Structure 1
Amino acid sequence: MITIRSFVIALSLSLALTACAPVYRHHGYIPPDDALSQVVVGQTSQAEVESLIGRPTSKGLLEGSGWYYVGSRWRHYGAMPPQEIDREVVAINFTPQGTVANVERFGLEQGRIVVLSRRVTDSGITSISALRQALGTLGNITAGRFID
């Protein structure tokens, strides 16, 4: 026979155990892969991107510089402070003509930002470091430039 005392102990024990279960919350929006696969680099316009995957979470500071879709997952566990366990960023940059220049997906792995996927149009511009640029101009300096 179950007494009231054992019932209260069992009820309080079960409440204490369920109170320690983690609670997960999702913030932001990341477009699904099938919607992102419809965005064609060099062909899809900014208006088409908006209709395919929606408005971005945030935009770049300069007009037309890029759209950023940010999503994160947080774990709340008891009285401990919330902890971010996953973050993903999808960055879509546009050309001055308004077509997609590149689509990049970044993740957060152990506190470091990592590139998960990248689709970029080839602009034909090679990346040259600042040191190489500075050293490359040394041979182009003539005395006539200082006199003018």
Structure 2
Amino acid sequence: MIRPRPAGRARAALLALLLALPAAGCSIFEAPPVQRGNRADPELLAQLTPGVQTQADVQALLGSPTATGTFDRNMWYYISSVTRMRPASHFTVEDRRVIAMRFDEGGTLRDIREVGQDDMRRVDMVDRTTPVPGTERTVLQALFGNLGRIGAGGLGSETTPGGGPGR
């Protein structure tokens, strides 16, 4: 009967451990979730009644809104998300929530709704840059541009070796 050598078992165990580490490493080094923004608690939202509460009441209950409408100051938005940074990955958003509130001109709450992913519009970033004339340097300007500037730190204040002003 052939018995496995103790060194062979140790190598097999080490190999199994090395193969298991990459899979386990993803959760070991993962950053904890981070709450961002002003999350409107559903229990607190249930206490709001359109037509009854005012902007001051909503602010006292939920805190300041994350954003107000750009063109309509009577629109308030409570925006929050739970984010996480994963190893060898980009920043991920696990839970995003947007609550939109509309007030009338008197400051009374008129409407509360949750804005979902279907209501949002995708905005693509523009990759182009605005050219600025005169900022392009040629290779020769880059190589020889500083010739003649040696010792130019004292321009306009020439001094004599004795320390006094020159004539």
CA distance in 1, matches of 2:56, 2:19: 56
* SS in structure 2 of the partner of residue 47 of structure 1: helix
Query: What are the equivalent positions in structure 2 for 1:90-101 lying under 5 Å apart?
Result: 90-101=99-110
C-alpha deviation, 1:13, in angstroms:
7.7
Unaligned runs of 5+ in 1: 115-148
Bigger Rg, structure 1 or 2: 2
Give the structure, 1 or 2, with the largest relative contact order (CA under 8 Å, sep 6 or more).
1
Q: Which amino acid aligns with 2:62?
A: I
Cα distance in 2 for residues equivalent to 1:32 and 1:94: 19
C-alpha contact 1:64 1:98 (8 A) present in aligned 2: no
Q: Secondary structure at the match of 2:61?
A: helix
Task: Report what 2:34 is aligned to.
Answer: 25
- Provide the aligned C-alpha RMSD in A: 3.0
Distance 2:86 2:116 in 1: 23
Q: 1:73-88 alignment to 2 at 5 Å?
A: 73-88=82-97
Shift of residue 36, structure 1, vs aligned partner: 0.8
Instruction: Using structure 2 for the length normalisation, give the TM-score.
Output: 0.53
1:61 aligned to 70, 90, 94, which one?
70
Query: Which residue of 50, 60, 66 corresponds with 1:41?
Result: 50
Larger strand proportion, structure 1 or 2? 1
What TM-score, normalized by structure 1, do the two folds share? 0.59
Give the AA of the match of 2:88.
A
Whether contact under 8 Å (1:59, 1:68) holds in the other structure is: yes
Q: Give a deviation string over 1:11-62, Cα, whole Å, max 9, x none.
A: x888755541143332112211111111110110110111111111111124
Is this contact kept in 1: 2:74–2:107, CA < 8 A? no
- Distance in 2 between residues matched to 1:49 and 1:31, nearest whole Å: 11
Number of corresponding residues: 110
User: 5 Å matches for 1:120-139?
Assistant: none
Q: Deviations 1:77-132 (Å, cap 9, x if unpaired)?
A: 21111222321100111000110010011233xxx348xxxxxxxxxxxxxxxxxx
Q: State the 4+ residue runs in structure 1 displaced beyond 6 angstroms.
A: 12-15
Work out the CA distance in 2 between the residues paired with 1:84 and 1:77: 11
Percent of aligned positions that are identical = 28
User: Which residue of the partner structure matches residue 112 of structure 2?
Assistant: 103
Deviation at 1:73, TM superposition (A): 2.1
What stretches of structure 2 of length at least 5 have no aligned partner? 1-9, 121-167
